[in-house]
Every structure is written in C-alpha cells, then in structure tokens.
Chain A
Amino acid sequence: MRTFDLLRAPLLGRFLRWRYSRFVLQLPLLLVAFLALYDGFFGRQLAPKNFATVSVWLHYRGFLVLAIAVFGNLFCAACPMMLVRGPTRFAKRFLPQFRWPRRLRNKYFVIALTVLYLFAYEYWDLWASPWLTAWLIVGYFGVAFLVDAFFPEGTFCKYVCPLGNFNFTLSTVSPTQITARDPARCLTCEGKYCVNGRVETAAGRKTAREAGPAEGIRYPGCETRLYVPEIKTNMDCTLCLNCLRACPYDNVALRPRFPGLEWLRARYRLDVVWLGVLLFFAGFMNALGMVPAYYRIAEGLSRLLGTRNEAVLLLVIYALWIGLGAGLTLLVATLADRLSGVRQTAWKAVRYWGTGFFPLAFAMWAGHYAFHFLTGWATIVPVTQQALANLGLPVGEPDWTLAALVPENWLYPLQVGILYLGLLASSYVLFGRARQRDHFLAGGVVFAYFFMLVALALWVLAQPMEMRGTLLLPPGSR
C-alpha cells in the first residue's frame, strides 16, 4: 500500500500535471520582480517604504521558509529567473557551448558564492537599500541568463545559484518528495526519460540526445540530472516537474514523507554537508548582526586590530565565526567517531554526523525570518499601493500603520519553539546515527554541541534588536 500522491490529488494534482503549471507559478513572481525593479530604481529610497526591499527581504524570505516547511521547494518551482530559458534557447543557436568544469561540479563553488553574498549583504546593507536590491535582482537575472546561455540547462540552479542551493538544503526538511510510483517499472524503462528527456517524433519515442534536432513534441528531462527512482533527498530538486511530464509511463509521484528518514538514509556528499553546516553558522551570523553584542564585538576588534575599515572587520568576524564553526564541527564529529570506535578521517566523520545540521539550519533561518515576516507582513499592502500609485494607478492612500501579524510578545516564544523543534529533529538524526553504530554516547556528544549552539542562538534572538547599517558608530556619538 503506497502513500498518498499529491500529483493525483483532485485539484492540486490536475494543476501540477498541467503543462503550464510552472509558468503560472512563475508569472506572479515575475510581476513582483518587475514591480520591485521599478520601485527599487525609481521609488523612494527608504527600505520600509519601498516595494523592492519589503518584498525581497521580508515576504520572499518569509514565504520561502513557510513553503519549504509545509510543502516543498515551491520557490525554485516558481523561480522567475528560469523564464530566461526562452531567450537563452534562442541565444544558444549562436553562442559556443561549454561544459561546466568538472572541478566545480559540487557545492564548494556555491559555498564560496554564498559567503560572498552574505558578506555583500552585510557590507552594503542590501536590506536597507531599494536601489541595491533592484540591482541584485538585475544581477541575478543577468547571471542566470549568461550561465544558461553558455552552459547546459540546470547548471545555474545546481552549481551557481546561492538562493537555489539555500532552498535545496533547507528543503531536506520538507514533507514531500518526488519518487517513482512503481520503482520496478523504472527498471524496464528503455530511455530513462525522466532524466534524459523525451521526444515524440514521427519515427517513434526517443530521448532528447537520440532525437537531436529532429521535429517532435519535446518533454525536457530533469535539468539537475536526478533520476527519479534513485531520488532519496530533495537536494537539487527544483520541483519543476519535468520528470512528471517526461515519463511516458506516468510513474512519477510527489508523496508526503517523514523527512527524518532522508536525514538517516541519504548519504550526502561532504560538500553538501558543509553547505548545511555553513547555512547554520551563516544564519546565526545573520541574526547576530542585528543585536548590540555584534557591534560590541566589532568595536573590540577594531581596537584590537587598529582599523576602522568595515570590510576588514567584517571579513575577520566572518572568517573567525565560520572557521570556528567548521573547526568545532570537525573536532566534535571526530570525537564522536572515536567514542563509537570508528577510526576514519575527520572529513568522513563530518559527513556522517554533519547531517544533523540540516534541520538546525532550517530552524535558525526560519526563526529569524519568522520574526521579520510576522512583525511586518502587512507592510506589503501600503508599499504595493505606493508602488502602483507611482505607476499612476488609483489604489488609494497607503496606511503605513499596517504591520504585525501576531502580537509582539508571541514572537520570541515562537522562535524558541522553532529552534527546539530543529534541535529535536537534529537529535533524531544524531541518535539515529548513533544507534546505527550501537553507541548512544557518540550521539550525545554531538547533541551536546548542538544544544550549546541552540542555546547561543536563543540568547542572540532574545537580545534587543539594533538595525544598523554601520558596523562602527562615528567617534563620540555614544
């Protein structure tokens, strides 16, 4: 007896199976991107009163974690940047085509880009600048176009896009996953169409490679090269549902699942685990960057190093924190290995125990984003009104007092709840892995480390907020 298949649910299933369902999901986000560009470039340069900053830094991020928690990687499915696909298919006819370098076919390049992006976010205060936010959108579309024009489809999503890879990593907590309805059917599939694409030509059914430029109805396969019966994780799945349309045997399902099984069974590569570790520590840093302790650390570091150069100070803080996180993780994972009687390299130890960081990384970001989203969710109404009014549309007077979704005193308990749930999910992974080795204490050591990190995160979230763009105060202003 197999579980429920969302692709066969009465209305939702019919919509998801529809050829243009992805386009329908992309279209609203494309319109949002256009409005964000317009307001970002031409609207008032005040972050809480500009559609670009409110939609990108408040609602996009808030809805993203919500969608991942209750459904799956919907925001990759609805990614408007993939609408560059039409122009790039045309451009590909004239441009030379390259293969993505083998050395970069992992998550290390994405890790580097993510660190660069987080540095840029803090250094240029992207959240406070509608103009820079608009340029970020332009840049994102531009890079998506360039990578897609010169490299195979899916390269951008899998190896370049920091946002997509953020979604991939966090969607390991999602309650749904693409799977084969009947894995046995895939064994006799002649073309593995879900991954290779399907072309129905006059001469019969072919894979995209076999068909070449031949005329026919084309159903592209998985852009990130996932073979449906072998999918054990949501990592790299954009939920584009190409597999569903490419499979001639209607053998693709989107099933509810218990994500804990993925964390226990999937064998993530080391680079994937490091991405999860990075996202936790980066999420922590992102929250820490909004409390007074962070500025005190920066002031202290400034005195110690004798510099007021914010780029240098930020680089040092990031390098120290992420370096400390990576080092401690290596140390604790190795210690847990030794305790369980396993002697292997520290990297392998991280690969084994580091999986526990996935739910914790989700909880860290979800807790932080939930705060911003819930405190300011209704601000989207007046900023949209104002942006549309700037376009000359009669939308009434914006009410700037619209803001919070829940009373302020609910926020911290909610964040505590999210982080404890994350810790609970992590402990399931850690003790599950410890049980596989029949050594409970090994899991306990890593759990103690995670508990300390969560306690630290809760302390950060409990601090009064300080929303400042400058790392150091001008001399004499305190």
Chain B
Amino acid sequence: MRKWAWLLVLALAACQPKHGEPLQAKVRFVPEHPTVGKAEVCIEVDPRVEYTRMTVVGDMTHPGMIPVKAEAHPAGPGLWRVDAFDFNMRGDWVLTITAYDASGKKYTKEVRLTVP
C-alpha cells in the first residue's frame, strides 16, 4: 500500500510544471528601504546574458492579496529597472523577478523584504 502511495506521489511530482532556472541577479531599491508608496527596483544581471524581457511581481505574505505586477525596462548594460513599483501596503513582501532570454528560457529570483 505504502509503495503505491509513494509511486503516486512520485508520478504526480513528475507532472509538475517546470519552474524557471535561478536568475543570477542583484536587486536593490531606491530608496534603499522602501516604504509604502512607489519605489524604484533595480535589477543587475550578468551583462553577457541577453535577456529580452523581465517582469517583477510583488506578493504579500498573507493569502488573498492581489499581486502587484510591473514590467522592467533595460536601463544600461546588465541593468533593468522598474521606475515606480507600487508597494501599496506595509508588511512582508516577496518580489518574484522573472527574466526571459532570447530562446524564451525562463529565469526566476525571489527577493523578500519588509516594508515598514
């Protein structure tokens, strides 16, 4: 019985959709410690990798909250930026940065911060 249960778990886990590769990036904010309101999000990536698109999705850690989505734009070699990311509530935020390269391959990075 247990064997079958494990097989089922493995089979179901095998069906999981593929998540992106890890994105090697440094993320900083202007101001350095964002407060409620708009803040700039700067994403520094390896300039040798050519990314075609980058999105930033902000989720709060409480269930039921609507995510904040923003499209980053290239702002120099290896630098992408969201000019006014809307931290619309105080609390713990999880930013998911998703980048796509020219072949459509997906890379993701998660950044956690607290907005006081």
- From DSSP, what is the main secondary structure of chain B's interface residues? loop
Task: Given A467-B89, A468-B90, check contact A58 B63 (CB 8 Å).
Answer: yes
List which B53-87 residues lie within 8 A (CB) of chain A: 57, 59-67
A467 in contact with B17 (CB, 8 Å): no
Judge whether B15 and A467 touch: CB under 8 Å: no
Q: Is the CB of B66 within 8 A of A467?
A: no
- Assess A38 versus B64: contact at CB under 8 Å? Given A468-B90, A469-B92: no
B15, B59, B64: most-surrounded residue (chain A CB, <10 A): B64
Given contacts A376-B63, A379-B63, contact A468 B91 (CB under 8 A): yes
Contact B91 A467 (CB under 8 A): yes
8 Å CB interface, A454-472 against B? 464-470
Chain B: CB-nearest residue to A400: B67
Which residue of chain B has its CB nearest to the CB of A373?
A: B64
Given A403-B64, A404-B66, are A391 and B12 also a contact pair (CB < 8 Å)?
yes
CA distance A388 to B64 in the complex (A): 19
**Measured CA separation A57–B15 after assembly (Å):** 27
Residues of B79-116 whose CB lies within 8 A of A: 89-92, 94, 96, 114, 116
**Contact between B67 and A473, CB atoms less than 8 A apart:** no
Partner of A473, one of B19, B65, B114: B114
Q: Is A286 an interface residue (CB 8 A)?
A: no
Complex contact A465–B63 (CB within 8 A): no
Of A57, A128, A392, which contacts B12 at CB under 8 A?
A392
Residues of A within 8 A of B65 (CB): 48, 375-376, 403, 467
Partner of A372, one of B64, B66, B96: B64
- Contact pick for A127, options B57, B62, B96, B114, CB 8 Å: B62
B33 within 8 A of A: yes
B49 interface hit (Cβ, 8 Å): no
A287 close to B (CB within 8 Å): no
Once bound together, how far apart are the Cα atoms of A241 and B64, in whole Å? Answer: 34
- When chains A and B are docked, how far (Å) is the Cα of A125 from the Cα of B91? 13
Which of chain A's residues have a CB closer than 8 A to the CB of B1? none
Known: A128-B92, A467-B92. A390 touches B15 (CB 8 A): yes
- B-side contacts of A414, CB under 8 Å: none
Instruction: Map CB proximity to A onto B30-66 as digits: 1 under 8 Å, 0 otherwise.
Output: 0001001000000000000000000001011111111
Contact B16 A390 (CB under 8 A): yes
Do residues B114 and A477 form an inter-chain contact, with CB atoms below 8 A? Answer: yes
Min CB–CB distance B46 → chain A (angstroms): 25
Q: Which residues of A contact B (CB under 8 A)?
A: 38, 42, 44, 46-50, 53-54, 57-58, 125, 127-128, 292, 372-373, 375-377, 379, 389-392, 400-401, 403-404, 464-470, 473-474, 477-478
Closest 5 CB pairs of A and B: A376-B64, A392-B15, A467-B91, A466-B90, A128-B61
- Having A47-B63, A391-B12, one finds 9 other A-B pairs with CB under 8 Å, namely A44-B19, A46-B59, A48-B65, A128-B62, A372-B63, A376-B64, A403-B65, A467-B90, A469-B61
- Which residues from chain B sit less than 8 Å from chain A, CB to CB? 12-17, 19, 33, 36, 57, 59-67, 89-92, 94, 96, 114, 116
